Amino acid sequence: MTIDITTTLPFTVDLLTFYGVNNQNFITLRDIYPSVRLMARGYTIKISGEEDTAKLVNDKIQQLATLCIERGELTPEQIALVCGGETVPAAPTTEAAMYAHGGKPITPRHQAQQDMTTLSQSCDLLFAEGPAGTGKTFWAVALAVKALKNKEIRRIVLCRPAVEAGEKLGFLPGDMKEKIDPYLQPLYDALSTLLPPTKLHEYLENGIIEIAPLAFMRGRTLRDCFVVVDEAQNTTVSQMKMVLTRLGEGGKMIVTGDMSQLDLPNGVTSGLGDAIHRLRNIDGIGVVETNEQQVVRHPLVRKIIKAYKKKINTETNNN
């Protein structure tokens, strides 16, 4: 039976926050429940659809309104969690880690980023492993930039393995820098959010920030540096040992990766998984593990990760 329900939001809710910029939150809600018709006018939302679904949507809208009032925010990611019957992670209580070059405060989006912040203060070596989209790389780079601004270190070194995905570097056009830069672009992207273009260019020109393939780390000792090793699941055991032993006096290192996205040849052991297994109980080394509930990209990314994870588990059980 089709029914109409008119629900009223609490008058203490901020409408712009609830509906989102350009109604993005409301659009997300419509996408999650395509079988019902939603019409909003200020604090009033009309729900039309099958009785059970309409009542469910009504309950979810009121839950989201309460969350919006309590948190002072509402995101598409939180909407997806609430509508999926999952628990929204507790809001981190930390102050802003730092500010983007536009003045926007950058704070942890979930508990794993908060844990990275806390552990990086007590551990000189930190591993952050988990699915794509949980902000591991960005947060590691943010912590490195913060340490540089606070003069806790003198340089930042960002590196990742240039694992070839179907193309050989020798066949790509340009000099060596032009060949490898596409592999390093995610690191440039993170830095461009955190630093003004002129300052970033200055730091890169002066070597205060260095971005390089993992292979360029061999034989070096990185003193007073904050090192971020990204995509570390694609290192071999020997490569991981090499880069970890580059850490010099006054240095810090964060190693990030996703063990579900291995690009290594079959039979080759991942240096990331091996290192976490060997080192996680050593004093001064921290390990943070993220999960799909902490994805900070498009809400669909969480569903995609779950679908692939379910398929992998099914194939494993069948074998």
Choose among 113, 107, 141: nearest CA to 288: 113
Q: Write the secondary structure of 175-237 as one string of H (helix), E (strand) and C (coil).
A: CHHHHHHHHHHHHHHHHHHHCCHHHHHHHHHHCCEEEEEHHHHCCCCECCEEEEECCHHHCEH
Closest CA to 295 of 129, 133, 80, 114: 133
Give yes or no for a contact between 143 and 154, defined as CB atoms under 8 angstroms apart. no
Most trustworthy range by pLDDT among 86-95, 139-148, 154-163: 139-148
pLDDT digits (tens, 9 = 90+) for 30-75: 999 999 999 999 999 999 999 999 999 999 999 999 988 887 888 8
Q: How confident is the model at residue 171 (pLDDT cuts 50, 70, 90)?
A: very low
What is the rounded distance in angstroms from the CA atom of residue 3 to the CA atom of residue 47? 8
For the ranges 107-116, 128-137, 266-275, the lowest mean pLDDT is seen at 107-116
Q: Phi and psi of 267, rounded to 5°?
A: 90, -10
Relative to beta strand 225-229, strand 105-106 is: unpaired
Q: How many CB atoms lie within 10 A of CB 282?
A: 10
Write down the pLDDT at residue 101. Answer: 65
How many Cα atoms occupy the beta-carbon half-sphere of 193 within 13 Å?
15
Tokens read off for 139: 């947060």
Residue 92 pLDDT > 60: no
Q: Which residue has the higher pLDDT, 300 or 189?
A: 189
* Closest to 14 (Cα-Cα) out of 90, 81, 73: 73
Residue-level pLDDT at 78: 85
Average pLDDT value over all residues in the chain: 84
Instruction: Report pLDDT for 19.
Output: 92
pLDDT at 7 over 90: yes
Residue with tokens 């000099």: 175
pLDDT exceeds 70 at position 172: no
CA distance linking residue 125 with residue 276, whole number of Å: 11
pLDDT in the model for residue 103: 66
Residues 6 or more apart in contact with residue 100 via CB below 8 angstroms: 106, 193, 194
pLDDT in tens, 239-297: 999 999 999 999 999 999 999 888 888 899 999 999 999 999 999 999 999 887 777 66
Would you say 124 and 252 are in contact if contact means Cβ atoms under 8 Å apart? yes
Please determine, for residue 87, whether its predicted confidence score (pLDDT) is greater than 90. Answer: no
Residue 87 half-sphere exposure toward CB, CA atoms < 13 A: 4
Contact 284, 125 (CB under 8 A): yes
